A and B are shown apart, each in its own frame.
Chain A
Amino acid sequence: MSELAEIITQNEDQIRAEWLRDMAKSLQRSDLMSKAELEEQSLAVLNAVVMGVKTSGPTDMSGKGWNTARELLQEISSSRARQGFSPTEVASFVLSLKQPLFSAIRREQSKNQDKLFDTVWVATEMLDRLALLTTEAYIAAREELIARQQQELMELSTPVVKLWEGILALPIIGTLDSSRTQVVMENLLQTIVSTNSKYAIIDITGVPTVDTLVAQHLLKTITAARLMGAECIISGVRPQIAQTIVHLGINLEDVITKAKLSDALALALQRSGRSVIRSTAAGTSSAGAVAGIKEA
């Protein structure tokens, strides 16, 4: 419908002015966006809409002419989602264009009621579609943010701790599912490389249950570490877990397991050629005796 395009073009300035004025009354979030920025965006969107209507018509949103408008609205929507605008505020940005647009249409076509109705209908459908587009882009941006935060949470909740030179500890708290184990595994292996640690103690005191899948993941981590030249010790194996492991027939032949983290640490220290020396009496040390961990 080329009439719509013409109406917009001929009334462009007035439409834009009214649009901005309406937005100023209700929508302006001056805490999040400056007036100048808002004006700039509005101008760009209006131009893009004009181009869309002129090139591909007001109904076919997938047409080439609408590319600019679509990309522009997606960008605006995503960035506003990140800035903290509400979904209504983002959609209203587009929808508030209706009032000035309808006013312009009425001005131009007041003589012919049927035509007026048709044009308004086409215009409202067009703007509805654009508003839906912004809402979808908003949702997509939010989901991406949530996914990123989930990832960060997973990484933070399983820190790799350096116990001593060359000895790492990985205390796992909570249930291990497939994706979490992957993150944990990669994190551990990366830390092994960056700290040049030959020993990694995986403490599962905080893991409520171990099923075949979890055991498989742990075994893969241990095998990968071994391939790289490091050794893993599993500690914190509670009696129930020990029973489950045997019942499930999980083969831990090649894996060193200890009930207590302290035992695992002692083993790692010993394997790396260190010994722990205690001073002769509490608070005092005899000449020559060193309290602490002695590097061989």
Chain B
Amino acid sequence: MDRIPVLRMGSLLLITIQVDMHDKLALQLQDDVTQRISEWGSTGVLIDISSLEIVDSFIGRMLANIAAMSRVLGAETVVVGMQPAVAITLVELGMSLPGVRTALSVEAGMELLFGATLGFKREAEDEFGEM
């Protein structure tokens, strides 16, 4: 595969990473996302990494970059589906993915981005504070 597909769902960009990416592919994705946000005026970016078994510092930086660049362009990014083994390894590596919001599933991710999801309305999440 020479490019990771970026799908459009209304104002949302949906990206599913299913392959073991080499560096060029990752950089190409960064490019494509910023292009598309500009082109389509997207306000949300959802990256599904539930198939990724490895997230090393390079991929981690890619995700953080995408989040940062998208924000500059007016879009929020959520990364969903991180596997437990990957999370444990990232913690050990010392990567905290600053500026990257995460959610457990695509649905939860969409809730985070738009505050409502298909058919089920919940109170919007705000930042954690003291009860």
Cα–Cα distance between A197 and B90 once the two chains are bound (Å): 21
Binds A, one of B16-24, B69-77, B121-129: B121-129
Main secondary structure of the interface of A (DSSP, over half): helix
* Selected contact of A193 from candidates B83, B91, B125, B128, CB within 8 Å: B83
Most A C-beta atoms less than 10 A away, residue of B91, B103, B121:
B91
How many A-B pairs have beta carbons closer than 8 Å: the answer is 64
Cα–Cα distance between A44 and B103 once the two chains are bound (Å): 59
* Selected contact of B123 from candidates A192, A197, A263, A296, CB within 8 Å: A296
- CB contacts (< 8 Å) of A193 on chain B: these are 83-84, 104
Cα–Cα distance between A192 and B105 once the two chains are bound (Å): 11
- Which partner residue on chain A sits nearest B124 by CB separation? A273
User: Smallest distance from the beta carbon of B53 to chain A beta carbons, Å?
Assistant: 14
User: Smallest distance from the beta carbon of A182 to chain B beta carbons, Å?
Assistant: 9
- Which partner residue on chain A sits nearest B88 by CB separation? A224
Of the four ranges (under 10, 10 to 19, 20 to 34, 35 or more), the interface on chain B belongs to: 20 to 34
Please tell me if A95 contacts chain B, counting CB pairs below 8 Å: no
Cα–Cα distance between A197 and B121 once the two chains are bound (Å): 17
User: Smallest distance from the beta carbon of A69 to chain B beta carbons, Å?
Assistant: 42
Please tell me if A229 contacts chain B, counting CB pairs below 8 Å: yes
* Selected contact of A186 from candidates B88, B92, B97, CB within 8 Å: B88
| Residues of B34-49 whose CB lies within 8 A of A | none
Cα–Cα distance between A82 and B109 once the two chains are bound (Å): 49
Cα–Cα distance between A20 and B107 once the two chains are bound (Å): 68
Number of interface residues of A (CB under 8 A): 27
- Knowing A193-B83, A270-B131, A273-B122, the reply to whether A229 touches B108 (Cβ < 8 A) is yes
User: Smallest distance from the beta carbon of B94 to chain A beta carbons, Å?
Assistant: 10
Contact A224 B108 (CB under 8 A): no
Contact B105 A196 (CB under 8 A): yes
- Knowing A192-B104, A256-B128, the reply to whether A228 touches B82 (Cβ < 8 A) is yes
Which of A's residues lie within 8 Å of B, judged by CB? 185-186, 189-190, 192-193, 196-198, 220, 223-231, 256, 263, 267, 270-273, 296
Pairs across A and B, CB under 8 Å, 16 listed: A189-B87, A189-B88, A196-B105, A198-B104, A220-B88, A223-B91, A224-B84, A224-B87, A225-B87, A227-B90, A228-B104, A229-B80, A230-B104, A267-B131, A271-B128, A273-B122
